[in-house]
Amino acid sequence: MITTSRIRFSDLSQQKRFSTDLTDELTVDHNVDQAIEHFLEQIGVPENDLPWSAYSRGVRLDKRTRLGDLPEQDADWTVLPTVTAGGAGASTGPSTGPSTG
């Protein structure tokens, strides 16, 4: 099997992108979970204690998988969290919350 040597990350909207060779800060010995963490740090997105997933070719990657064990075709990742939106707490939003004094 030919394994991947470079990973191209993006968020769901494909507006935030980052790519890296697996030779420097991220190596073949890191796993998917660590790679997600690295991507978020690079693009300045807080983890916020949310469950994060990475998808490649429409399939969710196992977080424990070693990057060196990923096939070459799994080089393009979409990284996204499970996150909740909604009107709860809207009344304490920026328009009505603490004001700049």
Partner 1 sequence: MHVTTDFPFELFTELSVDPELGAEAIHRESVQSDLGELVEETFVGGVLADAFPTHPGGVRVDITPVWDQEPRARALEVRITEQDGEGRSFTRRFETGRWMRRAQRKTEQLVDEGTLEEGVRTYVHLLAEGKDNPPELSLPALQAPTITEQSLDEFGVRELGDGEFCPDRPVLVNERMLEEILSHTEEAGAEETGGSTLGKMIKLDQPLPGTSTRIVTVLSASLMDARHNGTVARITFDPAALQEAAQVAQLRAKGETVLTAFHTHGWGTECGQCNQNTGCTLPSATLVSLDDYQVLECLFPSKATLMPIAGRKLGAPGTRPVLEIHAWRGGRMVSIPWRTYGD
Which residues lie near partner 1 (CB under 8 A)?
11-18, 42-46, 48, 50, 53, 55, 58, 60, 78, 80-95, 97-101
Burial of 80: CB neighbours in 10 Å, binned 0-12, 13-18, 19+: middle
- The least CB distance from residue 96 to partner 1, in Å, is 9
Nearer to partner 1, 2 or 86 (CB): 86
What is the DSSP code (8-state) at residue 61? P
Nearer to partner 1, 64 or 86 (CB): 86
- The least CB distance from residue 29 to partner 1, in Å, is 25
CB 47, CB 40: distance < 8 Å: yes
Residues 6+ apart with CB under 8 A from 74: 4, 56, 57, 61
Nearer to partner 1, 61 or 67 (CB): 61
Other beta carbons less than 10 A from residue 45's beta carbon: 14
- The least CB distance from residue 61 to partner 1, in Å, is 11
- The least CB distance from residue 23 to partner 1, in Å, is 19
